[in-house]
Amino acid sequence: MLVFVINQNKKPLMPCKPSKARKLLQAGKAKVVRNTPFTIKLLFGSSGYTQPVIAGMDTGSKVVGCAAIANEKVLYQSEIYLRENVSKKMDQRKMYRRTRRGRKTRYRPVRFDNRGNSRREGRLAPSIKSKLDSHFREKRFVDSLLPVTGWKVELASFDIHKITNPEVSGVGYQEGDLKGFYNVKAYVLDRDGYTCQHCKGKSKDSRLHCHHIVFRSNHGSDAPVNLITLCETCHKALHNGEFKLSGNKSKTKHATEIGILKSQIRKSGWSFAETFGYETKYRREQVLKLLKTHYFDAVAICCRDKQTVEPDDTVYFKKHVPAGDYQQTKGKRSEKNIPTGKLFGLRKFDLVITENGIGFIRGKRSSGYFSISDIFGNKISDSVNVKKKCRRLNARSTTLVQMVQMTHSSPPAISGKPEMSRKGSPAEVR
């Protein structure tokens, strides 16, 4: 485990060993500025000597891997789990606003469609923008922690047509499902026999619509496999929640998101060297002999061909969460307040150390017995008395961080989210 160092002007220096950091702190020549990862700030002038540091990022729509190496040694590695609930949170906010609008101003029209932001050219969906910002947030964090001299980023290219139809090749890209039809809608109507696929024409409604099985707001594609013919009556009933369609969902959502993220990262002005997935896999399996994880992929991205590095067992797992809770009350008439603020001096997602272990607060009770879990929601304890022998390590923020000591010999968990023991704790200089 290394201790990260910044100078008086908050410029990153090369990390040092815990023993040296302890001596600087005891002599009053440095102070602690961050617990996880443990970072100190020098209180005296330094030469500013640094060494070349290469950082790498494995982009993704669910998990992002990041690492930095110098002198054949891994200095930093992390996995960032991106938010997947942005659309759900926005729907919840819309529901509360609409009910409040109905109570306060009964005949006020919906305002979303006349807002300039919804018509702005080049606008990204909020869920995509959240994931894009998460990539840049980690990049800025690593730059503030280490004197990075160069970045390498893996921007994987996905062929949506190839994913949907693995046998396609050559002229098949031009002679696909849409050949001979004026557009996608004409093809779908003809494919379904100009018949509503729900009522089979029983509603006698001659007006037919093409419905997206996976909504475009949820990154559904316009491919024929994601479209179905419905009459206007059934279409309205479906959107009103009166029934649900039974069918296969699109399998290209995350591939589509990766394509958008890749395009936006290239346009951002970020100076980096682009790498490819097959190169990463070759270095990780054949040269480094490492298991398949996102942070090991990032380590492989940093390396050159046939370059070996000394692995590190310290991994920083990160998870992005909302800044707060939009719902403040519950009950049919909002008669009961929800304690979204501090209770016994603690908030939800505060990192605390208790008799039962170290974890994040997930549930609060007025009795003072809280539930805590690790960063992935794995339960540590259902009932911890925070009024006795409890200390807050980190306050809640939009990025939860937990340091874990991993063993390279053991494979990752099946779910892809490792079970963290009670020893998973912030870095401490002992």
Label residue 294 by pLDDT band (50, 70, 90): very high
Q: What is the pLDDT of residue 426?
A: 40
Q: Which two tokens stand for residue 251?
A: 């399998």
279, HSE (Cβ side, Cα atoms, 13 Å) = 18
Neighbours of 345 (CB within 10 A): 10
Beta bridge partner(s), residue 339:
none
Cα angle 110, 257, 234; round to 5: 50
Neighbours of 175 (CB within 10 A): 11
Q: What is the pLDDT of residue 123?
A: 83
* Residue showing tokens 């139809």: 165
Residue scoring higher pLDDT (262 or 186): 262
Q: Which two tokens stand for residue 28?
A: 């009053």
Alpha carbon separation from 245 to 211, 225, 231, 322 (Å, rounded)? 11, 14, 14, 31
Strands (DSSP E) found in 159-297: 208-212, 227-231, 273-275
* Residue showing tokens 């060494």: 51
Q: Cα(400)–Cα(105) distance, rounded to whole angstroms?
A: 39
pTM of the model: 0.74
Q: Which two tokens stand for residue 348?
A: 């939800």
pLDDT of residue 192 exceeding 90: no
Q: What is the dihedral of CA 328, 334, 338, 341, to 10 degrees?
A: 40
**Domains of the chain as residue ranges with CATH:** 4-84+126-160+255-321+400-405 (3.30.420), 175-250 (no CATH), 336-397 (2.30.30)
Q: Answer whether 148's CB lies under 8 Å from 141's CB.
A: no
Q: Which residues contact 342 (CB under 8 A, 6 or more apart)?
A: none
Using a 10 angstrom Cβ sphere, with 0-12 exposed, 13-18 middle and 19 or more buried, the burial of residue 25 is middle
Label residue 326 by pLDDT band (50, 70, 90): confident
Q: Three-class SS string for 145-200? A: HCCCCEEEEECCCCCHHHHHCCCCCHHHHCCCCCCCCCCHHHHHHHHCCCCCCCCC
Q: Cα(102)–Cα(260) distance, rounded to whole angstroms?
A: 37
Beta bridge partner(s), residue 359:
352
pLDDT of residue 111 exceeding 70: no
Helix axes 253-267, 126-145, angle to 10 degrees: 50
Label residue 225 by pLDDT band (50, 70, 90): confident
Q: What is the pLDDT of residues 151-177, one digit of tens each?
A: 999 986 444 455 456 665 555 555 555
Q: Cα(291)–Cα(334) distance, rounded to whole angstroms?
A: 50
Q: Cα(358)–Cα(109) distance, rounded to whole angstroms?
A: 49
Q: What is the pLDDT of residues 9-68, one digit of tens each?
A: 999 999 999 999 999 999 999 999 998 899 999 999 888 889 999 999 999 999 999 999
Q: What is the pLDDT of residue 3?
A: 95
Q: Cα(211)–Cα(188) distance, rounded to whole angstroms?
A: 10
360, HSE (Cβ side, Cα atoms, 13 Å) = 21
End-to-end CA distance of the chain: 11
Mean pLDDT of all residues in the chain?
Answer: 82
* Residue showing tokens 């893996």: 154
State the DSSP string of 321-338: --SS-S--EESTTS-EE-
Handedness of CA 355, 361, 363, 367 (dihedral sign): positive
pLDDT above 90: percentage of residues in the chain: 40
pLDDT of residue 260 exceeding 90: no
